């Protein structure tokens, strides 16, 4: 991630061709800082002042926007951790370091998370955009990228798109908008484009949208069109070309590119294509390759590995500084532990299971579209990435410890970091963690991310199905974080898990789409067998968990509800509620899907009364009292005309929760 902490006035002045003129800097201050939402007369007066100082066409500047596309296809093409790690690191290097080198570091407003935004002098942006697209292809060979450029006037950096007539006067402003707003045929389109704000007047909507963020919306639209049409908005896009000959040996990683060398890796000698060798070499290099394998591989294809700052280096810095008081940092091998070599080593810390966490911010695009100036964009983007990085590091440091494993290469016992950070960019993140810690880590990430960007001076009790207080009540979220978590055996195909996690993330986002004050949500799935789901999770749940009268799952959960789910399970375990009874009641609930809930409710109550005093109290408190509506017909909660229960969810995560540790997020 890269943002410039200084203001951009000097950069913009240089792009306009006046780097040292004090009157230009003062003008920029008037336009970008002092100017408030203006009527037509004030806009005309401000533009006249700009024209007098800079000339009729001297106020133009280019904005360059773009980055890698189809990122997940490139990163998860291989199933081996070193190549996945290398692909992610290589994309970050091109999308941040190379972008700054080509455009100029001071001109970059933001770079990270697979995208960037930068200034350029008018007329120079297209050449730089073409260079960046070519650089992506040159370094990665197979990754695709899209970069677009648009020329704007200075005044548009503060007031969004402004149309001028031949006399240099504003041709379309509030008056024309209000006239269009009264047209019942145009109103739906305008409502979609001009976001709703607290003040319900059309004028408030108009001024809320006429900011620098409107330019970002335009650039994003251009980006998507160029992604779909190679020649749109600029020169024909650089695309990787791979010659597939029928007699060529296929790459062992991609299974479709021609292999060119025999690589000494993974304890075997697979045949790899050059693109796969580059991923592998970078992955080994950022793993602190001590045997020189990375350089040897690069030498075989006459390629020089770029200097890349890995997530592992940033993690160690965190442990030495702000995270030094965490349980992970207190471990004797915290700073000397090596990155995991393969996914099986991560699974070793989770009883053979791994968890893939895929999280993304809610409505971030809308928030970006309402930022008033380039400086606000840089600060907001930087805050997003800082919050995501700190949340991830906090979650890992609070719930994990270095894991001792046997090195497959030399047979020695070593300590590893039992996780892999594949991406932390902007508001999204992808992690691989031990399966038995995945839910707790995700919960901490959700809390820390939302708290960092929210208002912690204003406690906010969210409307949730879980009634006791949680740590999530101590702040009011402004940007929610939603997540999809899939937990599976360590030998499960990563590309398949990523697809499932992506679907789960979509399910979580749908839950809070129209609940802006609810924060984020989370959906999860525990796969004991890879054959559990052969198509879509939605179809699997409709067949296995949903019925005409009752649903056997309460997923997705809001973050406080997930905290409650974990607290509920830990409470039942602490009271020694027999596991066999949990599983037996899970089977009894099956019939309720289409037959109604009364029979299963009676069976639950009968089971509770037969338990000992502690078990009876735990079931009554954690199931009936702590979940909204469950006291009427436990363990069912009413939702509209149907009912749902957390019981099947408790059984599903039973083996994936560390019972002995205190639930850190929920209190009962």
147 near 65, Cβ under 8 Å? yes
Q: Judge contact between 265 and 292, C-beta under 8 A.
A: no
Compute the distance between CA of residue 361 and CA of residue 509 in angstroms, rounded to an integer. 9
The residue-averaged pLDDT of 649-654 equals: 96
Q: With contact defined as beta carbons under 8 Å apart, do 447 and 458 qualify? A: no
pLDDT tier, 667 (very low <50, low <70, confident <90, very high otherwise):
very low
Give which of 360, 317, 303 is closest to 479, Cα–Cα: 360
- Tens digit of each residue's pLDDT (9 = 90 or more) over 468-497: 999 898 889 999 999 999 999 999 989 889
DSSP state of 307: -
CATH number of 2-161+210-228: 3.30.70.270
Q: Does pLDDT of 582 surpass 60?
A: yes
CATH value of 311-544 in 3.40.80.10, 3.30.70.270, 1.10.10.10, 3.40.50.720 = 3.30.70.270
The pLDDT assigned to 123 comes to 94
Q: How confident is the model over 66-110, as pLDDT tens digits?
A: 999 988 889 999 888 989 999 999 999 999 999 999 999 999 999
The reported pLDDT for the residue numbered 56 is 85
Question: Structure tokens of 524?
Answer: 């999860």
Place of tokens 């006239």: 179
pLDDT band, residue 660 (cuts 50/70/90): low
User: pLDDT digits over 304-350, tens only?
Assistant: 999 888 888 899 999 999 999 999 999 999 999 999 988 999 999 99
The proportion of the chain whose per-residue pLDDT surpasses 90, expressed as a percent, equals 67
Place of tokens 């600029």: 234
* In the predicted structure, residue 25 carries a pLDDT above the cut 60: yes
Q: How many CB atoms lie within 10 A of CB 184?
A: 7
Give me the residue label for tokens 């360590």: 490
Mean pLDDT for 640-652 is: 93
Average pLDDT rounded to a whole number, residues 553-565: 97
Count of Cβ atoms closer than 10 Å to residue 14 Cβ: 18
Q: Is the pLDDT of residue 639 over 90?
A: no
Q: How far apart are the first and last CA of the chain?
A: 40
- pLDDT tens track for 178-215: 999 999 999 999 988 988 776 778 898 999 899 999 99
CA-angle at 490, arms to 387 and 584, nearest 5°: 95
Q: What φ, ψ does residue 100 adopt, rounded to 5°?
A: -65, -35
pLDDT of residue 2: 45
What is the largest distance, in Å, between two alpha-carbon atoms of the chain?
88
Dump pLDDT digits (tens) for 358-406.
999 998 888 888 889 999 999 999 999 999 999 999 999 999 999 999 8
Rounded average pLDDT over 591-603:
93
Separation of alpha carbons 499 and 261, rounded Å? 30
Which residues have C-beta within 8 Å of that of residue 41, sequence separation ≥ 6? none
pLDDT at position 289 is 66
Say whether the peptide bond before residue 105 is cis (omega within 30 degrees of 0): no
- The reported pLDDT for the residue numbered 3 is 45
User: What pLDDT is recorded for position 162?
Assistant: 93
Backbone angles phi and psi of 512, in degrees to 5 = -110, 10
pLDDT at 625 over 80: yes
The pLDDT score that the predictor gives to residue 622 is: 96
Pick the range with the lowest mean pLDDT from 130-139, 225-234, 305-314: 225-234
Residue spans of the domains in the chain: they are 2-161+210-228, 242-308, 311-544, 566-654
- The mean per-residue pLDDT over the stretch 138-157 comes to 94
pLDDT given at position 4 = 45
Q: And the tokens for 274?
A: 């050059």
Whether the pLDDT of residue 666 is over 50: the answer is no
Judge whether 2-161+210-228 and 311-544 match in fold: yes
Taking only the tens place, the pLDDT of each residue in 504-547 is 999 999 999 888 789 999 999 999 887 677 678 988 899 999 99
3-state secondary structure of 610: coil
Give tens-digit pLDDT for 230-283.
767 777 776 777 777 778 898 888 888 889 888 877 767 888 999 999 999 999
Q: Which two tokens stand for residue 439?
A: 């839910």
What is the average pLDDT across 634-662? 87
Q: How much is the pLDDT for 366?
A: 82
């Amino acid at each position: 991630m890269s943002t410039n902490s200084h203001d951009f006035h000097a950069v913009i002045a240089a792009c306009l061709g006046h780097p040292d003129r004090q009157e230009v800097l003062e003008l920029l201050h008037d336009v970008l800082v002092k100017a408030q939402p203006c009527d037509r007369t004030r806009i005309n007066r401000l533009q006249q002042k700009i024209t007098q100082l800079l000339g009729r066409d001297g106020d133009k500047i280019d904005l360059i926007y773009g980055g890698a596309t189809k990122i997940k296809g490139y990163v998860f093409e291989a199933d081996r951790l070193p190549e996945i790690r290398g692909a992610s690191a290589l994309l970050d290097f091109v999308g941040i370091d190379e972008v700054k080198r080509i455009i100029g570091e001071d001109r970059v407003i933001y770079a990270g998370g697979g995208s960037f935004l930068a200034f350029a002098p008018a007329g120079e942006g297209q050449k730089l955009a073409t260079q960046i697209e070519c650089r992506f292809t040159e370094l990665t060979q197979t990754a695709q990228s899209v970069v677009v450029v648009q020329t704007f006037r200075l005044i548009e950096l503060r007031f969004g798109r402004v149309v001028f007539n031949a006399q240099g006067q504003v041709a379309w402003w509030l008056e024309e908008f209000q006239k269009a707003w009264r047209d019942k045929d145009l109103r739906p389109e305008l409502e979609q484009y001009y976001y709703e704000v607290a003040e319900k007047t059309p004028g408030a909507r108009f001024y809320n949208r006429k900011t620098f963020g409107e330019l970002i919306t335009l650039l994003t639209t251009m980006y998507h069109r160029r992604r779909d049409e190679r020649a749109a908005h600029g020169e024909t896009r650089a695309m990787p070309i791979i010659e597939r000959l029928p007699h060529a040996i296929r790459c062992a990683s991609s299974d479709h590119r021609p292999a060119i060398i025999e690589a000494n890796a993974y304890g075997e000698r697979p045949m790899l294509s050059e693109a796969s060798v580059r991923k592998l070499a970078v992955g080994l290099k950022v793993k602190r390759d001590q045997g020189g394998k990375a350089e040897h591989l690069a030498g075989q294809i006459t390629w020089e590995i770029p200097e890349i700052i890995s997530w592992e280096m940033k993690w160690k810095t965190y442990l030495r500084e702000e995270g030094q008081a965490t349980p992970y940092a207190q471990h004797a091998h915290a700073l000397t532990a090596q990155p995991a070599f393969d996914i099986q080593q991560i699974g070793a810390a989770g009883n053979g299971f791994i968890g893939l966490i895929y999280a993304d911010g809610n409505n971030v695009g809308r928030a970006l579209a309402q930022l008033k100036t380039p400086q606000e964009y840089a600060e907001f983007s930087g805050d997003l990435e800082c919050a995501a990085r700190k949340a991830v590091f906090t979650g890992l440091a609070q719930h994990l410890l270095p894991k001792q494993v046997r090195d497959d290469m030399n047979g020695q016992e070593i300590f590893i970091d039992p996780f892999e950070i594949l991406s932390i960019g902007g508001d999204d993140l992808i992690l691989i963690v031990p399966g038995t810690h995945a839910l707790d880590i995700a919960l901490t990430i959700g809390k820390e991310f939302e708290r960092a960007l929210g208002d912690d001076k204003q406690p906010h009790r969210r409307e949730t199905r879980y009634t006791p207080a949680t740590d999530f009540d101590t702040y009011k979220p402004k940007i929610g974080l939603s997540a999809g978590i899939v937990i599976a055996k360590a030998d499960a195909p990563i590309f398949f898990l990523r697809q499932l996690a992506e679907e789960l993330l979509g399910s979580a986002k749908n839950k809070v789409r129209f609940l802006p004050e609810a924060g984020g949500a989370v959906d999860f799935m525990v796969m004991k067998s890879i054959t559990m789901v052969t198509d879509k999770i939605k179809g699997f749940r409709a067949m296995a968990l949903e019925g005409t009268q009752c649903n056997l799952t309460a997923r997705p959960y809001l973050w406080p509800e997930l905290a409650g789910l974990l607290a509920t399970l830990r409470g039942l375990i602490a009271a020694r509620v027999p596991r066999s009874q949990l599983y037996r009641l899970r089977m009894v609930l099956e019939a309720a899907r289409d037959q109604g809930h009364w029979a299963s409710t009676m069976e639950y109550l009968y089971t509770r009364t037969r338990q000992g005093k502690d078990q009876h109290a735990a079931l009554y408190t954690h199931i009936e009292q702590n979940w909204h509506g469950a006291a009427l017909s436990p363990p069912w909660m009413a939702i509209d005309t149907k009912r749902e229960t957390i019981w099947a969810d408790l059984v599903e995560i039973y083996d994936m929760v560390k019972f002995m540790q205190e639930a850190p997020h929920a209190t009962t």
